[in-house]
Structure 1
């Protein structure tokens, strides 16, 4: 019985080590990149395996020592990866002053609705309760567009892209919008939105909404187009002379190299750093959750509030943020920077994405 338990723990520990090591490869195949996601789960599995193996194992054979050493390294690596998203880390975005005025604030609610979800009333009630300046819906089709009319009638400014391929996108704003541009960067059926929103104070802010395909067999066999689209948007943002906010379902986790590259190239800040994971997916499986829905912003803003919202019967939880425009404190927050090697990596990633798109279109 004990020997059987040791074999099971060895198998679990070996899996935790391999799953930790695979994402270190530069391969963009889905079966490699999928292990970017469950870092919290993998560190938990590695720690459990380590403790059980110490309790059960002999610890004297070379393979025992090798497994224990591998588990320690895996735990250390995963801990370093997720540490910035714990309360132990310093915040990247400062908390706004308590006297922040509404005219300088911008509130955004992002919800991947799950196109097949018929419980429209859940989201309607939540949107009415939170009353965000910007309501961004993802996976929304014509049915969702019609069903949400009771709440969206109060949003006079909008970009509506109802699609039946699970990549529809609806952006509703109570604040004026200008230069509303819908782009299909690498796929003719995967939209992204770029527009400018006018704060009550009169300041114009560049707003990007994104939802690239994930690297899964049913969507894309690799992450090349997803990664390229994310970095292309980062390049566009880097040239902006306006304050910037980016929101959407990246289909990528906050701690992946691609999202890290996005931040370095765009110089945007992540308000979750030092505050928590804010896992938005998968709402249906408590033990398998990670942060897929993101809101990044330039250092013109400070944070008033960030919140993962209650379940709306989707596979994603909505996320809500309230930002305060505080340009006088712009340099209090250290923004990420891209060096020459990072820019070269970004260029290669974009080219690989275009090559993949050309191959698919042949």
Structure 2
């Protein structure tokens, strides 16, 4: 053995210590970045990237809780306080959408109006499961998104079941179809903003009163151009609804979480709101992914209250259906 070699019973302690410090530092950086999403997401009105980050409040709750525990273990007081404050902020935002209408003091005298919206996914190969799910739900008004020409034959059972329909199937991922058993007074297909995506407007009779049903599907706001198109689309819907009198329902895949700026714009400008006894924050898209978010919605105006809201099962789409029961 060389004189320069360390003794066998005296191993060098520095290597494990350096690795531990390096791992701890990395975790601290990751925790700080995860908390940044909470606050950048609150600046959505200033930039589309910030608004995109606002969608993940549910994930931020988990990230902030983990960051808080990590900070306690590492005795990082400033990080623990920031994580706790961020956690409470996210919980506060989500809780605001836990119940957006008070339960009725007594059961409604009339039968609830059942409305379903479902993005069936253009690439969904399981047409049978998707259509069977819609048929079993037996809603009074159905709004299907992402139906194109490949769904033409599969939609036939709905055409048989419902006496009235409106279909725009030639727009690929933005095809839309609505079916209803309510008396139909008139229907119209509108195309808003630059991309000219279809929105269906059905003027119905609901128990002797006029009801306007609007089914729509704006583009996902995944870059600057698309984010502006998305906002323009939602703004156009808001302008349309603000000029309508009486009862209005807007339903569809809005590519908007309840707390993002686009949704706030739609609600403030139109007079629409969730008016739901049940929470509207449970995810409807990406339920098999860690980034699951609630982007499929039904909003009302004119004294309509959603007394029950149900998210459907897996039917081959990356979305789940939303079925609501609406009363006056």
Which residue of 11, 14, 33 corresponds with 2:51?
Answer: 33
Do the aligned residues in 2 keep the contact of 1:134 with 1:174 (CA within 8 Å)?
yes
Asked if residue 108 in structure 1 is aligned to residue 120 in structure 2, the reply is no
Q: Distance in 1 between matches of 2:237 and 2:171?
A: 24
Q: Distance in 1 between matches of 2:272 and 2:21?
A: 52
Aligned to 2:298: 295
The gaps in structure 2 that reach 5 residues or longer are 1-18
Once the two structures are TM-superposed, the CA of residue 20 in structure 1 deviates from its matched residue by: 1.6
TM-score by length of 1: 0.79
Once the two structures are TM-superposed, the CA of residue 145 in structure 1 deviates from its matched residue by: 2.8
**Runs ≥4 in structure 1, deviation > 4 angstroms?**
none
Q: Structure 1 residues 176 and 154 mapped into 2: Cα distance closer, same or farther (>3 Å)?
A: same
Do the aligned residues in 2 keep the contact of 1:198 with 1:205 (CA within 8 Å)?
yes
Aligned to 2:91: 79
Q: Structure 1 residues 166 and 156 mapped into 2: Cα distance closer, same or farther (>3 Å)?
A: same
Which residue of 251, 258, 264 corresponds with 2:262?
Answer: 258
Q: Distance in 2 between matches of 1:185 and 1:7?
A: 49
Asked if residue 212 in structure 1 is aligned to residue 218 in structure 2, the reply is yes
User: Secondary structure of 1:316's partner?
Assistant: coil
The gaps in structure 1 that reach 5 residues or longer are 60-64, 327-362
Once the two structures are TM-superposed, the CA of residue 8 in structure 1 deviates from its matched residue by: 3.1
Aligned to 2:251: 247
Do the aligned residues in 1 keep the contact of 2:275 with 2:304 (CA within 8 Å)?
no
Number of corresponding residues: 309
1:136-174 Cα offsets, whole Å, 9 max, x none, are 100100121321212331212111000253000001111
Asked if residue 54 in structure 1 is aligned to residue 72 in structure 2, the reply is yes
Asked if residue 94 in structure 1 is aligned to residue 97 in structure 2, the reply is no
Q: Structure 1 residues 247 and 276 mapped into 2: Cα distance closer, same or farther (>3 Å)?
A: closer
1:2-29 Cα offsets, whole Å, 9 max, x none, are 4234223212211122212222333333
Q: Distance in 2 between matches of 1:281 and 1:243?
A: 28
Do the aligned residues in 1 keep the contact of 2:116 with 2:142 (CA within 8 Å)?
yes
Q: Distance in 1 between matches of 2:91 and 2:203?
A: 38
Aligned to 2:315: 312
Do the aligned residues in 1 keep the contact of 2:273 with 2:299 (CA within 8 Å)?
yes
Do the aligned residues in 2 keep the contact of 1:120 with 1:144 (CA within 8 Å)?
yes
Q: Distance in 1 between matches of 2:94 and 2:192?
A: 30
Do the aligned residues in 2 keep the contact of 1:208 with 1:247 (CA within 8 Å)?
yes
Aligned to 1:131: 138
Do the aligned residues in 2 keep the contact of 1:93 with 1:269 (CA within 8 Å)?
no
Larger CA Rg, structure 1 vs 2:
2
Aligned to 1:323: 326
Asked if residue 151 in structure 1 is aligned to residue 158 in structure 2, the reply is yes
1:243-279 Cα offsets, whole Å, 9 max, x none, are 1111011101011122123222222231446635231
Q: Structure 1 residues 322 and 119 mapped into 2: Cα distance closer, same or farther (>3 Å)?
A: same
Q: Structure 1 residues 181 and 223 mapped into 2: Cα distance closer, same or farther (>3 Å)?
A: same
User: Secondary structure of 2:95's partner?
Assistant: helix
Aligned to 2:208: 202
Q: Structure 1 residues 48 and 126 mapped into 2: Cα distance closer, same or farther (>3 Å)?
A: same
Q: Distance in 1 between matches of 2:275 and 2:33?
A: 33
1:200-259 Cα offsets, whole Å, 9 max, x none, are x22110111111111114xx6451121122122122212211211110111010111221
Q: Structure 1 residues 115 and 95 mapped into 2: Cα distance closer, same or farther (>3 Å)?
A: farther
